[in-house]
Amino acid sequence: MTVHLYGLMRRLSVVFGSALILMFFSEFYFLNEEPVLSLLTQTPSATLASLSELTVYYALFAYLFLATLSVFKVRRWRGLFLAGCVFGWATEGLIIPLVYEAVPFSLIFPSVSWHAVVDVLVGWYLVRRVMRLNRLFISGLMFIILGLVWGIWATWFWGEAGVLAPLPPLVFLYFVVVVTFVWVLGMLLLDRFSVDDFEPPKWELMAILGISVVLFIITGIAFIPLPIVLAVLWIVTLLALRCNARQVTTQDVLGALHETEPAWWNYLLVGLTPLIAASIYPLFYFNGVGLPTEEVTFYLLLAGTLGLFWALARSFGDRGTSDKRNVAS
């Protein structure tokens, strides 16, 4: 009983740690207007309640992501990217119907182009991987670059109808400092309790899948037949992940996260990101110059599309090569 309870608590720590990291990059690094407005206008108690609710939603998405990594024994970059796509489509299609708003473009942005690339590859994996190098200059440089990108990206919604007005610099400083604590807490939870493999019991996995299917139907029923397209994308992606799982490889990108632990000073260096972001942001604010959103979104959309096709093609293509080798041997 004690062993099972410990395993459950450890899994929950990994799930909620991942959820906080993914939520930070998805909502706050991105500057999604509703969560940002909620944080800036509500009372502290109401803000905490909103953050808690949002974290529960992201815990569901994070669970599906972690379970995908485990069930399909993800070891390669393309597998991690495809698992990120599964997470992205869940984020935009289970609770909110954003994935259906402008098909086919909304199938890629932000689900693939942002969530899979920024939330998963950069936020959940690359940042934590670099921290484990325990090299002061490299970690510091990474957090500075993240701050520069954040300060520039924070202008994406300027001029967009129906969204936030540009945040004054002091308000932006308050915002980036507060939400960075969410990011750090997520990394501390995940790094402290992370295990080599996330292996939930079958009943737990089936319960989460059942909840996800119900939410998928409820959210998507008003958009029939578009949910069928999303379901096909999910199935094709899972089949590609299955092909990857059957292939022999010496690569183990996830294993690198368990070889060593980040030194404590890495978590202090995270503070460079909000400070750099808050330092560069006023240059845009006072000059009235924002990010060319349409152009940048186009390139993100293109990169996400090409990345998805590449990952799927390599997964199914290598399957054929691997099968031929197995027959020959």
Structure confidence by residue, pLDDT tens digits, 251-276: 899 988 988 899 999 999 999 999 99
Structure confidence by residue, pLDDT tens digits, 165-221: 899 999 999 999 999 999 999 999 999 887 667 888 999 999 999 999 999 999 999
Cα–Cα distance between 190 and 58 in angstroms, integer? 14
pTM of the model as a whole = 0.94
Let me know: does 261 contact 136? Beta carbons within 8 Å.
no
Let me know: does 77 contact 34? Beta carbons within 8 Å.
no
Cα–Cα distance between 132 and 127 in angstroms, integer? 9
Counting Cα atoms < 13 Å in the Cβ hemisphere of 304 gives: 25
pLDDT higher than 90, residue 160: no
Structure confidence by residue, pLDDT tens digits, 212-238: 999 999 999 999 999 999 999 999 999
pLDDT reported for residue 163 = 74
Cα–Cα distance between 48 and 54 in angstroms, integer? 10
Nearest alpha carbon to residue 291 among 150, 177, 176: 150
Nearest alpha carbon to residue 255 among 74, 127, 115, 82: 74
pLDDT reported for residue 327 = 36
